[in-house]
Structure 1
Amino acid sequence: MKTTTDTTLREVEQAGTNTASSLPGLVAEHPFLQGMTPEHLAILTECAMFAEFKKGEVIFREGTPANRFYLIRSGRVELEAEVPERDHMLIQNIGPGDVLGWSWLFPPYYWRFDARAATPVKALFFYGTWLREYSEQDHNLGYELMKRMAEVVIKRLQSARKYLVELRTEGRV
């Protein structure tokens, strides 16, 4: 779902800014995508656009359809989980160089956490639904994305585990 802060490559080109020409370089330079083939980077660039979020803006909510992911360029995003009787609990902070969103790749394609901009955020936005379709056609692309997203999932689980251990140690659980 496109928000008013999403800017497609075509819109940037029509506006006559230099930002569109920087998109392929920004995609290729992000740590998450380093080592991808030029062909795969071209596909990823085709599915990418720029996104910005204001401080406090909700990026996505748990339980809503997951159809995209973000590569954070600047700013900080807080991942939160809703916990009965506790409102929301911070699970992890996501910052520059990090990936936000893995649920687009795994059925049933619903977000598992809430994400909120803790500061103003600039990111690269990728259409996950398009990338799933490309991955069905190019299994090497799908394998690369799956490997990389699996690492993101593992980091999220480790972060959640660490947080739970801290809560238990502090006697808050």
Structure 2
Amino acid sequence: MTKATKLLTALPPPQRQRLMALGREVSFAEDARIFESGGTADRFWVIRSGAVSLDQRVTSVRRVTVASLGSGDLLGWSWLFPPYRWDFGAEAFSPVRADEFDAQAVLGLCEEDPRLGFLLVRLVAEILAHRLEMTRGQLMEQYAMHRRGVL
């Protein structure tokens, strides 16, 4: 299993500086809902500190955590792909500080700087591949526990 890619540290300094010029620091209180599945994905965050849980609603009242994110992690990728709707929900598991980026501004910057655009898409793809690998491992573990009658 590979180590998770950290978006900002993986970008070369010139591209990181251009991207960071578009960011603004935000914070979320513990238990704050950051976004809901199906909502408009018009921004993303890079977590500075704290923890965020990604979740999927399984009933009208029950959510299942599918991933936990922390310092340096990318929160939100749906802004990059049509139909620009969140696939999961997100909630602050602890107080969170993050850099927030407006999707339209970042996409405009990517058009101005094709190298940055290429690097950003490649890095997001690496992050998604890592999360898919992690999710697959969790599903296999859940399946094995179910087969053994643990669940």
Pick the TM interval, shorter chain: 0.7 to 0.9
Alignment of 1:129-168 (within 5 A): 129-168=104-143
- Which residue of 37, 45, 67 corresponds with 1:70? 45
Q: Give the C-alpha shift of residue 114 in structure 1.
A: 0.5
* Amino acid across the alignment from 1:134: L
Find the counterpart in structure 1 of residue 66 from structure 2.
91
Matched, 1:52 2:24: no
Find the counterpart in structure 2 of residue 123 from structure 1.
98
| Distance in 2 (alpha carbons) for counterparts of 1:34 and 1:146 | 15
CA RMSD in angstroms, aligned pairs only: 2.0
Q: Is residue 8–residue 72 contact of structure 2 (8 Å, CA) maintained in 1? A: no
Q: Label 1:93 to 1:108 Cα distance change in 2 as closer, same or farther (>3 A).
A: same
* Amino acid across the alignment from 2:81: F
Task: Provide Cα deviations, 1:84-133, integer angstroms capped at 9, x if missing partner.
Answer: 48821111110112111111111111111110000001111111221111
Find the counterpart in structure 2 of residue 80 from structure 1.
55
Find the counterpart in structure 1 of residue 9 from structure 2.
34
Q: Provide the identity percentage.
A: 35
Unaligned runs of 5+ in 2: 1-5
Q: Give the C-alpha shift of residue 35 in structure 1.
A: 5.1
**SS of aligned partner of 1:161:** helix
Per the normalisation by structure 2, the TM-score is 0.85
Q: Is residue 58–residue 115 contact of structure 1 (8 Å, CA) maintained in 2? A: yes
Q: Is residue 102–residue 152 contact of structure 1 (8 Å, CA) maintained in 2? A: no
Find the counterpart in structure 2 of residue 104 from structure 1.
79
Instruction: Provide runs of 4+ in structure 1 moved above 6 Å.
Output: none
**Structure with the greater relative contact order (CA < 8 A, sep ≥ 6): 1 or 2?**
2
Unaligned runs of 5+ in 1: 1-30
